[in-house]
């Protein structure tokens, strides 16, 4: 960027528009500084978590339940609980989200109704997660009578991810070129055949990516599971979808703010944070790999 600075200086000399040039240069440095600042803050947070959390992470930490009033032992039940609830979330959000997107993009007559639905989805994506949590408590826990449970929490997180899944899936469907659809229709394919054999195979990478990103967000949410089934402490793993469960984000919340011996469990809190961070990273990374694999396949034209 020294080169850019020099070039700018040279140009300003030759054209005489020095004022405009210096404004541009200022803008350039402001933008650059902002980026560096954001990266720096992110780096500090990640560094802090890794540095303080890495020490407690070992095989025992990952495979043992908490012991002696949660001041010792590991986070196994919370890890398993988060995995379970995430599975329920994806089992609910993925099919519903993709189906809704297919309807919205392929079947629905585009007009005021679809515009309204899309606008609602965007707004829904911005609703605070605690609102989803309370809704889940009112509907799944109370009305449906699931009680505080894996299924209630999973469905609540599913609702939370649904707007993301639908929007991402629809975006993916929309990128499938129209000429492919027309080619198939012109051969006498029904709408479903066109979707099934031409559109979906092309849209799957985008759909998967969107779904996984939504899931990664859901896995880290605390508020929606707080009221729908996450437990402070359970001595055993959940044995059915109607059981309560421990979850990483909630466990972290407890260890960081609610425990009676906060300073004593601080390392465990950091370890939990690091595991949660890694989990979300793995999910995001998985999305990237999947997308790349499908892209490569698409580039080969198969």
Partner 1 sequence: MQITTNQQTKKDQGEMVEPASINAESDPAVVKNGYGEDYCEVKVKGLNFYYGSKQALFNVNLRAKEKGVAALIGPSGCGKTTFLRVLNRMNDLIPDTYLEGKVCIHGEDIYDPSTDVVELRKKVGMVFQQPNPFPKSIYDNVAYGPRIHGLKNRARLDEIVEKSLRGGALWEEVKDRLHDPALSLSGGQQQRLCIARVLAVQPKILLMDEPTSAIDPIATQRIEDLIRNLCTDYTIIIVTHNMQQAARISDYTGFFLQGEMIEWGETANLFTNPKDKRTEDYITGRFG
181 or 266: CB nearest partner 1: 181
90 or 194: CB nearest partner 1: 194
Contacts to partner 1 by CB under 8 A: 109-110, 177, 179-190, 193, 197-198, 201-202, 298, 300-302
Closest separation in Å from C-beta 101 to partner 1? 18
Closest separation in Å from C-beta 106 to partner 1? 11
Closest separation in Å from C-beta 111 to partner 1? 8
Residues 210/171, Cβ–Cβ less than 8 Å: yes
Neighbours of 24 (CB within 10 A): 15
102 or 137: CB nearest partner 1: 102
H or E, element range at 142: none
Burial of residue 268 (number of CB atoms within 10 Å: 0-12, 13-18, 19+): buried
Closest separation in Å from C-beta 179 to partner 1? 4
Identify each DSSP E strand in 64-220 by its residue range: 66-67, 72-73
* Token couple for 61: 């930490």
Question: Residue 301 phi/psi, 5° resolution?
Answer: 80, 30
198 or 254: CB nearest partner 1: 198
1 or 179: CB nearest partner 1: 179
Please state the three-class secondary structure of 239-287 as a single string: CCCCCCECCHHHHHHHHHHHCCCHHHHHHHHHHHHHHHHHHHHHHHHHH
135 or 185: CB nearest partner 1: 185
Closest separation in Å from C-beta 154 to partner 1? 36
Closest separation in Å from C-beta 290 to partner 1? 18
DSSP conformational letter for 230: B
Residue in the block written with tokens 């929490």: 153
Closest separation in Å from C-beta 302 to partner 1? 5
**Angle, CA of 37, 274 and 263, to the nearest 5°:** 100
Interatomic CA distance for residues 69 and 64, integer angstroms = 14
28 or 185: CB nearest partner 1: 185
Interatomic CA distance for residues 172 and 213, integer angstroms = 14
Interatomic CA distance for residues 258 and 113, integer angstroms = 46
């Amino acid at each position: 960027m020294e080169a850019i600075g020099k070039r700018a200086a040279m140009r300003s000399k030759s054209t005489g528009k020095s004022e405009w040039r210096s404004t541009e240069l200022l803008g350039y440095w402001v933008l650059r500084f902002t980026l560096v600042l954001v990266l720096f803050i992110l780096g500090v947070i990640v560094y802090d978590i890794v540095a303080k959390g890495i020490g407690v992470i070992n095989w025992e930490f990952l495979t043992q339940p908490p012991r002696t009033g949660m001041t010792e032992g590991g986070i196994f039940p919370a890890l398993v609980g988060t995995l379970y609830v995430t599975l329920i979330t994806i089992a609910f959000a993925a099919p519903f989200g993709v189906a809704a997107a297919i309807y919205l993009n392929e079947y629905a007559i585009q007009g005021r109704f679809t515009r309204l639905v899309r606008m609602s989805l965007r707004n829904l994506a911005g609703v605070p997660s605690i609102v989803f949590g309370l809704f889940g408590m009112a509907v799944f826990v109370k009305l449906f009578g699931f009680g505080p449970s894996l299924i209630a929490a999973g469905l609540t997180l599913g609702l939370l991810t649904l707007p993301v899944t639908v929007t991402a899936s629809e975006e993916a469907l929309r990128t499938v070129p129209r000429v492919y659809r027309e080619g198939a229709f012109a051969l006498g394919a029904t709408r479903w055949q066109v979707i099934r054999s031409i559109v979906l195979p092309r849209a799957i990478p985008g759909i998967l990516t969107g779904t996984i990103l939504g899931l990664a967000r859901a896995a880290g949410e605390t508020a929606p599971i707080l009221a729908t089934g996450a437990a402070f402490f359970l001595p055993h793993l959940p044995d059915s979808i109607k059981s309560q469960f421990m979850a990483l984000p909630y466990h972290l919340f407890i260890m960081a703010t609610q425990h009676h011996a906060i300073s004593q469990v601080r390392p465990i809190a950091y370890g939990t944070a690091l595991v949660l961070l890694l989990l979300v990273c793995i999910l995001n990374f998985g999305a990237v790999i999947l997308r790349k694999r499908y892209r490569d396949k698409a580039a080969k034209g198969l």
